[in-house]
Amino acid sequence: MHKIIFMGTPDFSVEVLEGLINDATMEVVGVVTQPDRPVGRKKVLKPTPVKELALKHDIPVYQPEKIRGSQEAEELKALNADLIVSAAYGQFVPIDLIEAPKFGAINVHASLLPKYRGGAPIHYALWNGDKKTGISIIYMTKKMDAGDILSQRAIEIKATDDVGKLFDTLAVVGKELLLDTLPAVFAGEIQATPQVEEEVVFSPTITKEQEQISWDLTAQEVDNHIRAFRPFPSTFTMLDNNRVKIWAGEPVDYNGEPGEIGEVLAVEDNKLIVQCGDNTFYGISEWQESGKKRLSIEQWLNGNKPEAIIDSVFENK
């Protein structure tokens, strides 16, 4: 039986950890995750999803604020694990810890590397309108997401996908690919492939500024942006100095007169028709006005007349 140290934090990591726990050929001897963080208005400390699963299975949990140079790192080395498996852990792992296990350390990364190294690969795949994404199993190195590739599996990105749906889908793909890959790793039969540095694309952490919609983009690009940020962190636009979240919609055909960028031209089929770039039109079907509940436009129209919003202009980023 192979002894595994698992490193991960969000829901994406839970699926991968569960796969390892349920594999009879492996024993998860320790789980490393981010510290509990305060959430909500009352700032109640909340454990990470990975911690909750580990405690459910009586697996020791390590939560260093910073793993480099920590006491926890020394304790992990003393476990004499065969392998470290990381999946969306959220910290740089020091090279001495990476090299401590017999088989080193591998990472389950949610992109087809070398495209989208970094912390937001699923967001950027959707935002850029990619037709496919996938999972890469790589060796961990000192450099972020730069290790040799052990295996990859691609999936199609559907027009209805958003970042939440892709997270769930790729978590399952990551678990399955990891479990398919590990036997060859332990047998010493796997052929790792170096990444092509000239093809590297980065996916840095999403910023608050990137959440605002640019209406001068085409309607398809606006749709890509909204789906890439749904349900987290979400997109917004500004109307009369008030922040309005845009949750759903789609590019639409519109036969009326065009207007200025960001203008609400009409209400059709329970959608707000907004002028976008390149003479394209986006139909908002769900939004959330500042300080109010998330509503479909159909629900909003139950208490408001179309004239209340037609000719309004959303601020262009």
- Architecture, CATH, for domain 208-308: Roll (3.10)
- Architecture, CATH, for domain 2-202: 3-Layer(aba) Sandwich (3.40)
Per-residue pLDDT at 42: 79
Tokens 């490193």 correspond to 7
Alpha-carbon separation of residue 293 from 80, 201, 258, 288, 300 (angstroms): 52, 38, 30, 6, 10
Q: Is 113 annotated as a binding residue?
A: yes
Alpha-carbon separation of residue 225 from 118, 210, 295 (angstroms): 18, 9, 19
Q: Is 97 annotated as a binding residue?
A: no
- Listing DSSP states for 112-165 in one string gives -TTEEESS-HHHHHHHTT-SEEEEEEEE--SSTT-SPEEEEEEEEPPTT--HHH
How is the chain split into domains, by residue range? 2-202, 208-308
Per-residue pLDDT at 243: 96
Percent of the chain with pLDDT strictly greater than 70: 100
Q: Is 114 annotated as a binding residue?
A: yes
Q: Is 83 annotated as a binding residue?
A: no
Average pLDDT over residues 291-305: 96
User: Residue 115 is encoded by which pair of tokens?
Assistant: 């495209």
For residues 275 and 259, the answer to whether their CB atoms sit within 8 Å is: yes
Per-residue pLDDT at 226: 98
Structure pTM? 0.94
How many Cα atoms sit within 13 Å of 183 on the Cβ side? 7
pLDDT band at 261 (very low <50, low <70, confident <90, very high): very high
Q: Are strands 132-139 and 105-109 parallel, antiparallel or unpaired?
A: antiparallel
Average pLDDT over residues 89-98: 96
Alpha-carbon separation of residue 179 from 14, 85, 132 (angstroms): 14, 11, 22
Phi, psi of 91 (to 5 degrees): -140, 155
Q: Among positive and negative, which fits the CA dihedral 293, 299, 305, 308?
A: positive
pLDDT one-digit tens code per residue, 9-50: 999 999 999 999 999 999 999 999 999 998 877 788 899 999
Write b or e for each residue in 79-97: b if 16 or more Cβ atoms lie within 10 A of its Cβ, otherwise e: bebbbbbbbbbebebbeeb
pLDDT band at 172 (very low <50, low <70, confident <90, very high): very high
User: Residue 249 is encoded by which pair of tokens?
Assistant: 């919609």
Per-residue pLDDT at 245: 98
Average pLDDT over residues 200-227: 97
Per-residue pLDDT at 72: 96
For residues 30 and 106, the answer to whether their CB atoms sit within 8 Å is: no
For residues 178 and 4, the answer to whether their CB atoms sit within 8 Å is: no
Per-residue pLDDT at 192: 97
